[in-house]
């Protein structure tokens, strides 16, 4: 199938590359010339495990191309995927400007080229309920009602860090459409990806739009619930790890997404929770539970920072603090709404000197802080002369460090673990002062013989 992707960011690039991998002819459009140039030149623009290899293979085989030329891509395609940003507006609602602007351009293109054949415009961006009607109206404004198009809502559920795996083997595909013709076409396109038994779930456009927000808000709710519970465990001397095991083994609850930490970040959960809240308020059907989800999430990083302040009795000036992890989660270079920024801002405000390390996301920190902080070339490099280590992202390479080396490098063996990476008891035995989330903090004592 000839496919156009409009917006070649995290979702668009993964979608384009994976569709090419299954034999489709794909043209990825972006209005950022730097992105198009880099991708044409053979370099991927984002870090995502497994992406580079299939990108290179499909580029070599000529199944994928990158272009700034929207009209050519649209006219040549049977299916046009909109993978455009929907950032939060001032009131929290999703900003539809990019989606509707491209819909308007598509309408103009089709008006200039009547008879260019049946096209399905597929909205993959996360958009508020009712957007597919708006997209269709924006296109049809320029062409007659008879224009041979359908607009479909096809929300994307890929997880950054597992995006390629998720796209190539989705647990489900949601197609929001009432057009049999469009449904058949999309089923045809996705057939090559779905493992046996994993469904294409067909529904109306509005239900599909709500499904995406409902999924992300539910995941955010699990995280905030566990964070709230972890703080309760902190207060009463219980262990959130044990509680997690205890509840996660109940199949009605399940054991995924039950890890307390610094709260969710990234380009999806924070903005999607707020956008759904906003839509619900507008519909006079407020989803009150989500207000707490959002509040707990914002509080969580503050609570964690207070542990650092408390340990140093509010005197951080002149201390050297190492930070492991910038990305909002492991296996991505994405720093959008990353919790680390709150921690770094506070440390700088307290006049601590900060040195950071992340395997992939250093550019995100450099763009924001420039020379206000230091950048280490390795995790151990960040520890030299440090008064404390703060763990913000649970990259695998942080999980089994050489603790002896850490202690020789650091001036004080103090660790604030925002992701509960280590065992508190073992950290105590290793001679660290160790603070984590929802588990008892441990002062160091001499290493046992
Ligand atoms: N990132 C994720 O994990 C994820 C997962 C599921 C859904 N989503 C949703 O998918 C959408 C895209 O997210 P993303 O993370 O890929 O965003 P992104 O910012 O990484 O990518 C968007 C791309 O669109 C391009 N663009 C903007 N305006 C354009 C225009 N007029 N013409 C052509 N290109 C244009 C930008 O240059 C950018 O490269 C959002 O609605 C998001 O909520 C994201």
Q: Using CA positions, which residue lies closest to atom 26 of ligand 1?
A: 7
CA 251, 194, 197: angle at the middle one, nearest 5? 50
Among protein residues, the one with the nearest Cα to ligand 1's atom 18 is 9
Question: How many A from CA of 174 to the centre of ligand 1?
Answer: 19
pLDDT bin (cut points 50, 70, 90) of residue 324 is very high
Average pLDDT over residues 421-432: 96
Spacing, Cα 266 to ligand 1 middle (Å): 13
pLDDT in tens, 373-384: 999 999 999 999
Q: Which atom of ligand 1 is nearest to the CA of 102?
A: 31
**What's the average model confidence in pLDDT over 211-227?**
98
pLDDT of residue 442: 58
Mean pLDDT of the chain: 96
Question: Which range has the worst mean pLDDT, 106-110, 114-118, 138-142, 310-314?
Answer: 114-118
From the CB of residue 368, how many other CB atoms can be counted at a distance below 10 Å?
16
pLDDT at residue 448 is higher than 50: no
Q: What is the pLDDT of residue 443?
A: 54
- Among the atoms of ligand 1, which is closest to the Cα of residue 29? 33
Query: What separation in Å is there between the alpha carbon of 377 and the centre of ligand 1?
Result: 30
Q: How sure is the predictor about 449, in pLDDT bands with cuts at 50, 70 and 90?
A: very low
Residue range 239-268: average pLDDT? 96
pLDDT at site 447? 46
User: Looking at ligand 1, which atom is closest to the CA of residue 13?
Assistant: 16
Please tell me the predicted confidence (pLDDT) of residue 426: 96
The closest residue, in CA terms, to atom 24 on ligand 1 is 7
Residue 264 and residue 226 in contact, taking contact as beta carbons nearer than 8 Å: no
Summarised one tens digit per residue, pLDDT across range 144-188 is 767 799 999 999 999 999 999 999 999 999 999 999 999 999 999
Residue 445 pLDDT greater than 80, yes or no = no
| Dihedral Cα 414, 323, 273, 183, nearest 10 deg | -130
83 a catalytic residue: no
**CA pair distance 259, 257, nearest whole angstrom:** 6
CA 9 to centroid of ligand 1, rounded, Å? 5
What integer pLDDT is reported at residue 351 of this predicted model? Answer: 98
Parallel, antiparallel, or unpaired for β 173-176 and 374-375?
A: unpaired
At residue 265, the pLDDT reads 97
Nearest CA to ligand 1 atom 32: 31
The per-residue pLDDT for range 83-95, each reduced to its tens digit, is 999 999 999 999 9
Å from CA of 154 to ligand 1 middle: 14
pLDDT at 144: 76
Residues in contact with ligand 1 (CB, 6 Å cut-off)? 6-12, 29-32, 35, 83-86, 98, 101-102, 125-126, 156, 158, 160, 267-268
Ligand 1: residue whose CA is nearest its atom 37: 32
- Work out the average pLDDT over 96-105: 98
Going by the DSSP 8-state scheme, the letter that residue 385 receives in this structure is: T
Q: Confirm if 328 and 334 have CB atoms less than 8 A apart.
A: yes
Atom of ligand 1 nearest to the CA of 126: 41
Identify the pLDDT of residue 446.
Answer: 47
pLDDT level of residue 440 (50, 70, 90 thresholds): confident
The H or E element containing residue 213 is: helix 205-236
Measured by CA distance, the residue closest to atom 11 of ligand 1 is 125
Distance from residue 12's CA to the centre of ligand 1 (Å)? 7
Among the options 28, 83, 233, 268, which is catalytic?
268
Atom of ligand 1 nearest to the CA of 272: 43
């Amino acid at each position: 199938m000839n496919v156009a992707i409009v917006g070649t960011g995290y979702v668009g690039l993964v979608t384009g590359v994976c569709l090419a991998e299954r034999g489709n002819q794909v043209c990825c459009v972006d209005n950022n010339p730097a992105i198009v140039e880099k991708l044409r030149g053979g370099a991927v623009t984002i870090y995502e495990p497994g992406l580079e290899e299939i990108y290179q293979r499909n580029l070599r085989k000529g199944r994928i191309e990158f272009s700034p030329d929207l009209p050519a891509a649209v006219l040549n395609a049977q299916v046009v995927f909109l993978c455009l940003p929907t950032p939060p507006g001032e009131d929290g609602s999703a900003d539809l400007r990019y989606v509707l602007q491209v819909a308007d351009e598509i309408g103009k293109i089709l008006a200039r080229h009547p008879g260019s054949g049946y096209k399905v415009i597929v909205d993959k961006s996360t958009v508020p309920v009712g957007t597919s009607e708006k997209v269709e109206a924006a296109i049809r404004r320029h062409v007659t009602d008879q224009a041979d198009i359908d607009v479909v809502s096809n929300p994307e559920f890929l997880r950054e860090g597992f995006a390629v795996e998720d796209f190539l083997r989705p647990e489900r595909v949601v197609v929001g459409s009432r057009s049999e013709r469009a449904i058949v076409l999309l089923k045809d396109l996705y057939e090559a990806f779905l493992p046996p038994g994993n469904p294409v779930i067909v529904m109306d456009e509005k239900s599909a739009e709500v499904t995406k927000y409902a999924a992300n808000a539910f995941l955010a709710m699990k995280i905030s619930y566990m964070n709230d519970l972890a703080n309760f465990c902190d207060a009463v001397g219980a262990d959130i790890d044990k509680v997690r095991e205890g509840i996660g083994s109940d199949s009605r609850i399940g054991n995924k997404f039950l890890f307390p930490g610094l709260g969710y970040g990234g380009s999806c959960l924070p903005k999607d929770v707020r956008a759904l809240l906003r839509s619900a308020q507008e519909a006079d059907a407020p989803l009150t539970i989500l207000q707490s989800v959002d509040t707990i999430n914002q509080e969580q990083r503050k609570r964690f920072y207070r542990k650092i302040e408390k340990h140093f009795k509010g005197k951080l000036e002149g201390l050297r603090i190492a930070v492991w992890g910038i990305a909002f989660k492991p296996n991505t270079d994405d720093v959008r709404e990353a919790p680390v920024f709150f921690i770094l801002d506070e440390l700088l405000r307290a006049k601590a000197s900060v040195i950071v390390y992340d395997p992939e996301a250093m550019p995100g920190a450099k763009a924001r802080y420039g020379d206000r902080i230091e950048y280490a070339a390795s995790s151990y490099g960040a520890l030299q002369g440090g008064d404390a280590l703060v763990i913000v992202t649970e990259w695998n390479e942080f999980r089994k460090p050489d603790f002896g080396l850490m202690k020789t490098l650091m001036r004080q063996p103090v660790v604030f673990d925002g992701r509960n990476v280590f065992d508190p008891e073992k950290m105590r035995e290793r001679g660290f002062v160790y603070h984590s989330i929802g588990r008892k903090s441990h002062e160091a004592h001499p290493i046992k013989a």
